[in-house]
A and B are shown apart, each in its own frame.
Chain A
């Protein structure tokens, strides 16, 4: 089944800097890679996702890159703002979309 590893566990940046979070996955058949943002006490919100037929996807300050050969995908946040502070999770499907497995999470702190 799918195993998703996420690094780093915590990330602290100054406002305006970039932040990068990386995940590796084990199932070579995986073809959908989402990233979620979770604020304290709230539900995870999908912020961006990518499918295996593309290597990069961008949405304003957020981008995701995928390297299928190395089996890793990364979240890139540019021009970070204090409201970007949250916990970010990568995830992956296993078992033919019958399991959605989450990474351990990255606690991002953006300091003004």
Chain B
């Protein structure tokens, strides 16, 4: 299957700072990328969908000014958590699919802890 690499795998940051998470498709072109947040013992909650070269579509309740998503190329999407607070601590996972494909391939996830 296709490979999606997410970096970093874990990060600890101070409250009020920003954190950037990268998601790369290593061997295919990802026209669509999905960003999820997963709290302990819960499901994956879709935060936003991004298509290469266009603005991300955010789910209801997700602040677009706080969670900045950039999908500037067919192999890279980034999620920046701005002015992070302890309640933003969670497991963030990206997923990517090709233009014609239906299968979504997942990154390994990033565990964010805001102290």
A98 within 8 A of B: yes
In the complex, which of the residues A32, A34, A97, A103 contacts B43, with contact meaning CB atoms closer than 8 Å? Answer: A103
Question: Which chain A residue shows the least CB distance to B94?
Answer: A43
Q: State the CA gap A51–B49 with chains docked (Å).
A: 22
Query: Which residues of chain B from 65 to 93 have a CB within 8 Å of any chain A CB?
Result: 91, 93
The B interface is mostly helix, strand or loop, or mixed, namely strand
B25 within 8 A of A: no
Q: State the CA gap A102–B34 with chains docked (Å).
A: 12
- Interface size bracket, B side: 20 to 34
Q: State the CA gap A98–B49 with chains docked (Å).
A: 7
Q: State the CA gap A98–B43 with chains docked (Å).
A: 19
Chain B residues within an 8 Å CB radius of A43: 93, 106-109
Q: List 29 A-B contacts (CB under 8 A).
A: A32-B102, A34-B103, A34-B104, A42-B109, A43-B107, A43-B108, A43-B109, A46-B1, A49-B103, A51-B102, A89-B43, A89-B44, A91-B104, A97-B32, A98-B57, A99-B46, A100-B46, A100-B95, A100-B104, A101-B46, A102-B43, A102-B44, A102-B45, A103-B43, A104-B42, A104-B43, A105-B42, A105-B43, A107-B41
- A residues with a Cβ closer than 8 A to B are 32, 34, 41-46, 49, 51, 89, 91, 93, 97-105, 107
- B residues with a Cβ closer than 8 A to A are 1, 32, 34, 36, 41-46, 49, 51, 57, 91, 93, 95, 97, 102-104, 106-109, 111
